[in-house]
Amino acid sequence: MRVEVDLTRCAGYGNCVEAAPEVFQMSDVADVADVILPEPGDELAESVHKAARVCPADAVVITE
Ligand code: SF4
């Protein structure tokens, strides 16, 4: 799977970081999330999908 954050939508809520800290972290330079692991393994699929569900801005983009 491939994971991206749509920065035109991300509003910096941080829910994705809580759901999948191995994949997302808050940016140092802006109030948005950075993807630190853009191609996570299957063992992280559940938490990445959870991150997408809990993002209020619908900004987590997953490509299978
Ligand atoms: S939960 Fe969504 S809006 Fe919040 S930081 Fe993550 S991607 Fe951005």
In Å, the largest CA–CA distance within the chain is: 30
Number of domains in the chain: 1
Tell me the CATH number at 17. Answer: 3.30.70.20
Indicate which residue's Cα is closest to atom 3 of ligand 1: 10
For the chain (64 residues), the mean pLDDT of every run of 10, in chain order, is 98 97 97 98 98 98 96
Range of the domain at 15: 2-63
Residues 6+ positions from 30 with CB-CB distance below 8 Å = 12
- What lines the ligand 1 site, CB under 6 Å? 5, 10-16, 32-33, 55, 57, 59-60
pLDDT at 24: 98
Give Cα separations from 39 to 3, 27, 29 (angstroms): 6, 18, 23
pLDDT at 63: 98
pLDDT at 55: 98
Q: Using CA of residue 48, residue 54, residue 55, residue 61, what is the dihedral sign?
A: positive
Q: Both tokens of residue 48?
A: 């990445």
Question: pTM for the complete prediction?
Answer: 0.95
Helix (H, G, I), strand (E, B) or coil at 18: helix
